[in-house]
Amino acid sequence: MLLLRKAIISNSKRFKTNWIQPEGYDTGIKVYNCVTRTKVPLVVANKSCVTMYTCGPTVYDSAHIGHASCYVKLDIIQRILRRYFKLNLVTVMNITDIDDKIINESKNLNKSPIEVARCHEKEYIQDLDQLLVTKPDVLLFDEKFAYKSEDGSVYFDVSQYENYGKLQKIGENTLEVNTGSIKNSPADFALWKAAKPNEPYWDSFFGPGRPGWHIECSALAGNIIGSSVDIHAGGIDLRFPHHENEEAQSCTFFSKPQWVNYWLHTGHLHLRDSVKMSKSLKNTISIQDMLKTVNPVVFRVACLLSHYRRQLQSTIDNKSLIESLSETMTAVDNALQDDFNTPVVIESIHRLMTVTNKMLHTPSTNSNYLNHSVYVTAVMNFVLEIFKVFGVDILSKQINEEVNDYSDIIDVLIKFRQNVRQLGISERNENALKLCDETRDELRNLGVYIKDHGKISSWSR
């Protein structure tokens, strides 16, 4: 199984960056593909079991809000795939609990690496919970084109794999032959790290040591999902070298030209002045600190407002409500099929709400008006349902806390209810009035009290 070093192959064979469109069920969704650099149809091997692997955290420190935006954005995509496109998605995520960073942190804190890992693992699960992120179905704790170096570590020889640089173009010097290093080339990466004194190790065929970071994801995903993965996700910073290496070693291991059919990468979270948040820049805000002042629903809406691949940062026409509603439904459908474009969904829903509110304020002049309340109800159901797909339950408990942050949203909701109610009264439409009463009661349970004064409504905490 262990193939020892061979001569560097010629550069002409190197940059073969073809993507193979898989066979199976075409979901109708177009998704950005970093290999072709275009949007391509999302075809899954089996509609009744769609596999998605996500790189989880290395638990050496508290997670920051950059991680939070990645988890929430991927959670939104998973909800869209499950609840909107009705795919039976099986999600797998790893937690890296042994790594250089954990060992270094354990030395700083004078604790064992396992203590450090278990502590932050627990914190991570709590973070996901508080961010309303659905937990993965399988959460995992933790050879071939390789050579053994002088210190006993095993490295993957990238020169032996002609598709290296598939996900991200790499400079030629990355692949140059190394002199004075234990690695053949700087791009070679560790599959197995030889044991060092006072560090945890396991016995293996290669001798005592521990797995490299990249092999961990390949081994776990390969073991649970197998030789073909529909979707593999992670933050954009993992595309290279982590995902490149995972793909290279897994393709080699399974003797296949393509292991992962689709890679999904979420954009970084940027602070003001376009500075990336990262541990090395010491400008991180932990998820727990953020949640002291920002409600998770508000954070989720902020994530929805920027496209998942991007960095996080009304008009009235004469069309009738039903036309607006069906147009919005089509727009939402198209936007979600178009690489999960949530900002366009929110924009479309905002337009629909504006048209609806304006329309309800316009006095009735024709007989069609009578039917509108049915569509107003349909608009409300549609909007609430779409938000639920995204994990934002507008009528849920989350709205209870820090009501000041929500006052704009509540204003819109109360205004909308007031309009529905006025219509219900003028048309003696019991269904519309019942819906208004239900909304009032549900909001009361959340600490928002609505008072109806004739046709006008007000609210207080």
Do strands 38-44 and 25-33 pair parallel, antiparallel, or not at all (unpaired)? antiparallel
Could you give the 3-state DSSP secondary structure of residue 460?
A: strand
Q: How far is the CB of 53 from Zn ion (least distance, A)?
A: 8
Which residues in 132-243 belong to E strands, given as ranges? 138-141, 146-148, 154-156, 189-194, 209-211, 229-235
Return the half-sphere exposure (C-beta side, CA atoms, 13 A cut-off) of residue 319: 16
Kindly state the smallest distance separating residue 235's Cβ from Zn ion, in Å: 10
Taking the complex as a whole, the smallest distance from the CB of residue 215 to Zn ion amounts, in Å, to: 10
Of 237 and 333, CB closest to Zn ion: 237
What's the DSSP call for residue 68? H
Helix (H, G, I), strand (E, B) or coil at 442: helix
Between 250 and 419, whose beta carbon lies closer to Zn ion? 250
The residues of the shown chain that bind Zn ion, judged by CB under 5 A, are 55, 217
Q: Which residues are 39's β-sheet partners?
A: 32
User: Nearest distance from residue 85's CB to Zn ion, in Å?
Assistant: 25
The smaller minimum CB distance to Zn ion, of residues 61 and 401, is found at 61
What is the Cα–Cα distance from 264 to 243, expressed in whole angstroms? 11
Q: What angle do CA 33, 37, 39 make, to 5 degrees?
A: 55
Q: Which is nearer to Zn ion, 55 or 345 (CB)?
A: 55
**CA-based nearest residue to 370, from 310, 432, 416:** 432
Minimum CB–partner distance for residue 217 and Zn ion (Å): 3
**Cα–Cα distance, 256 to 247 (Å, whole number):** 10
Nearer to Zn ion, 217 or 277 (CB): 217
CB nearer to Zn ion: pick between 71 and 387: 71
Q: Please, what is the minimum distance in Å from the beta carbon of residue 99 to Zn ion?
A: 11
Write the burial class of residue 391 (CB in 10 Å: 0-12 exposed, 13-18 middle, 19+ buried): buried
Q: Is 453 in a helix, a strand, or coil?
A: strand
d(CA 230, CA 222): 12
Task: Specify whether the CB–CB gap between 270 and 301 falls below 8 A.
Answer: no
| Nearer of residues 260 and 399 to Zn ion, judged by Cβ | 260
The nearer residue to Zn ion, 120 or 372, going by C-beta atoms, is 120
SS (H, E, C) 317-332: CCCCHHHHHHHHHHHH
What's the min distance (Å) between Cβ of 246 and Zn ion?
6
| Closer Cβ to Zn ion, 89 or 95, answer by number | 95
- Residues linked to residue 93 through DSSP beta bridges, in sequence order: 54, 139
C-beta of residue 46 within 8 angstroms of C-beta of residue 58: no
Nearer to Zn ion, 55 or 277 (CB): 55
Residue positions counted in the chain:
461
Least distance from C-beta 227 to Zn ion, angstroms?
17
Provide the 8-state DSSP code for 339. T
- Which C-beta is closer to Zn ion: that of 55 or that of 117? 55
Whether the Cβ atoms of residue 219 and residue 188 lie closer than 8 Å to each other:
no
Question: Smallest distance, Å, CB 70 to Zn ion?
Answer: 12
Q: What are the tokens at 89? A: 């998605």
Please report how close the Cβ of residue 55 comes to Zn ion at its closest, in angstroms: 3
Least separation in angstroms between residue 137's CB and Zn ion is 17
Cα R_g (the chain), whole angstroms: 26
